[in-house]
Amino acid sequence: MQVTVEGTEIFAATGGRPFDPALPCVLLVHGAGMDHSVWALQSRYLAHRGRAILALDLPGHGRSAGEAVTDIPALGDWLIALLDAVGVAQAALVGHSMGALACLSAAARYPERLRALALLGVAPKMPVHPDLLALAAANDHKALELIDDWAHGPRAHLGGHPAAGTWLLGGGERLLERARPGVLHGDLAACDAYAEGAADAVRVRCPTRLILGADDKMTPAKAGTKLADLIPGAEAVVIPDSGHMMMTEQPDATLEALKQAV
């Protein structure tokens, strides 16, 4: 579906069911340089089981128009503006990587708008190496290759995905290649600059679950667990044999952890 947020046309996948704001709403927010397609399995399952799903393309990403928002708190504000635009007073926010930071920021500052929070592949701080930032600023394809390699755990590099014929690394690289010039750099710079993770965590008031990959090299499970310790009442689920892209590397285990949270 298309929705206008602050004058910009935004695309959101609804999981194959019409969006009904009267149902419990779940907002799914992708990570740096990606789009709604990372939630393909999870969005469809939840939409067919009584949830109103919005798997977003953030501004400047995927099918959405406008310029990318390159500041995590501003991205958190934008998520709330989207809820206003679709007439939803309260939602479960689910974010992956950069999207998780945006959801965390929103949860800290708009507690009345969240009924639940799920953070995937996340840590209190997500610094980005200056060399990677420089490659992304130059729109160098090497930046995509490095991210794709680091984002997937050892099992994903070897194959054996439950969906026969799935090539996770190839698919991940093609997805990053679809990002417009400059978007990946803006996203990475936003993650690098966000320093409020720990302070925002202690302000969260809704039920919260962190879903972490045991083999995640970008946001190690140990760091994610530290973030969970800061959020009142939060719990952490660590998925075996998964790197940073748990939604595609271990889709069933991720869904199992997610559906209990939202």
Whole-number pLDDT of residue 65? 98
Whole-number pLDDT of residue 198? 97
Q: pTM for this structure?
A: 0.96
CB 118 within 8 A of CB 209: yes
Whole-number pLDDT of residue 156? 87
Whole-number pLDDT of residue 167? 87
Whole-number pLDDT of residue 157? 87
User: Residue 102 contacts by C-beta under 8 Å, 6 or more apart in sequence?
Assistant: 29, 72, 75, 76, 78, 79, 95
Q: Name the β-bridge partners of 114.
A: 91
Whole-number pLDDT of residue 162? 78
For the chain, where are the E strands, in sequence order? Answer: 2-5, 8-13, 25-29, 52-56, 91-96, 114-120, 208-213, 235-239
CA distance 114 to 116: 6
- pLDDT under 50: residue ranges of the chain: none
Backbone angles phi, psi at 232, to 5 degrees: -55, 120
Whole-number pLDDT of residue 177? 95
CA distance 253 to 242: 10
CB 13 within 8 A of CB 229: no
Whole-number pLDDT of residue 161? 79
Q: Name the β-bridge partners of 236.
A: 210
Whole-number pLDDT of residue 164? 74
